[in-house]
Structure 1
Amino acid sequence: MIWHLVALAAAGLGAAGIGFLLRAASGRKLPKWIVPVFAGMGMLTYQIYYEYYWFEHKQSQLPASSVVVATEQQQAIWRPWTYLLPMTVGFSVVDRSNLAEVQLDDNQIKRFILYRFQKEYVDLVSHQPHLLNCDTQELVPEADDGSLRPELMRKLDSDDPLYLAVCR
């Protein structure tokens, strides 16, 4: 977070320097307010870049065996550009190297951990173990104590990215 603030200040100072050089090159014909306007535009540009690059940056830090199975995009009124290009603010990942296979009554069952990354002022990461019956496409989360939570069971479609990442 501190490096983000340092980069934001550097972008503002760099853009203000460009505004100052333009004003000096014009023989001071450009108005004085051009310098703070350039500083603000530089900081805004960096912030927009950072917000859109967050998903790619986090994805690059994941192991090669990880598969993104869901993304969440968001629009916000205080970020009007997100109505044109929605911003990714969360995603779910399965690490295929940690899949465990269990045969039970001729059903192929896979145990895996679903990781959830959420973009907040501090990035949040949560994880929850799940069982997926690859034959019936039923997904059941596990509780913290390792017991199953059948009341939260849901059936996945055959083209669901989570089903394809775990069972194929």
Structure 2
Amino acid sequence: MLLEFIAIIAAGFGLAGLVLALNFLVRKRLPGWAVPAAAGGGMLAMAVWLEYSWLDRVTATFPDEVEVASTNELRVWYRPWTFVVPQTSRLIAIDHRFDRHNAAMPDQVLTQVLLMGRWEPARQFGAVFDCAGGRRADLVDEVVFDEDGAPRNARWIALAEDDSLLRAACSR
């Protein structure tokens, strides 16, 4: 957050410096408000770019085995440009590096789910997906596994057939 704040301030100074140099080249013919307006415009443009590039910058750091299942688009009144192009503020991903399959239950996969949001700490949790049954059980403290690998005390959540998280978990 601090680095983004510094980048926004630097963009304002940079664009104001360019307009100041242009004003010098045209022998001070630009209006007096041009330099402060350029500073404000540069800061606003950098802030908007940082918000819109968040998803691409975050997913570029993911290993190949991490698959983004869904994203959340945001439209808010105090950012009127989001009504034209919605901003992505959160994502849910499956980390296939942690996929585990049980021969006794071939339709189930145990994997890690990643939750990331703009200005929020990243979270992850384990989950068992029943690909044939279209359901998910989050691995919380009371969930234990039988000798055959079946989760006991699991609270299963029914998912729609076209659920993006279910499709991503069962895709491999």
Q: Same fold (TM over 0.5)?
A: yes
1:22 is aligned to 2:22: yes
> Matched residues in 2 for 1:108 and 1:115: separation?
22
Structure 1 residue 107: deviation in Å? 5.2
Of the three residues 91, 104, 124, the one matched with 1:127 is: 124
**1:109 matched to which residue of 2?**
108
**Structure 1: which 5+ residue stretches go unaligned?**
none
Q: Which amino acid aligns with 1:165?
A: A
Task: Give the one of 148, 154, 161 matched to 2:158.
Answer: 154
Percent identity of the aligned residues?
24
Cα RMSD for the two superposed structures: 1.7
Question: Could you tell me whether the CA contact under 8 Å between 2:68 and 2:93 is conserved in 1?
Answer: yes
Give 1:127's aligned amino acid.
Answer: Q
C-alpha distance in 2 between matches for 1:76 and 1:100: 40
TM-score, normalised on structure 2? 0.87
Q: Deviations over 1:87-123 (max 9, x none)?
A: 000000101121011244x552111111100112xx3
Q: Give, as a single letter, the amino acid of the residue that structure 2 aligns with 1:166.
A: A
Q: Which residue of 1 aligns with 2:100?
A: 100
Check whether the contact 1:96–1:165 (CA below 8 A) recurs between aligned residues: no
Higher helix share: 1
Q: Distance in 2 between matches of 1:47 and 1:81?
A: 12
Q: Which runs of 5+ in 2 are unaligned?
A: 145-152
TM-score of the aligned structures, taking structure 1 as reference length = 0.88
Residues in 1 aligned to 2:35 and 2:132: alpha-carbon distance in whole angstroms = 64
Q: After alignment, is 24-33 or 43-52 more displaced?
A: 24-33
User: What do the CA deviations read for 1:19-62 (whole angstroms, capped 9, x no partner)?
Assistant: 21222223222111110100000010000000001100000111
Q: CA contact under 8 A between 1:91 and 1:118: conserved in structure 2?
A: yes
- Please show how residues 10-159 of structure 1 align to structure 2 within 5 Å: 10-104=10-104, 108-120=107-119, 123-147=120-144, 148-150=153-155, 153-157=157-161, 159=162
The answer to whether the 8 A contact 1:140-1:154 is kept is no
Counterpart-to-counterpart distance in 1, 2:9 and 2:139: 45
In 2, Cα distance between the equivalents of 1:19 and 1:107? 65
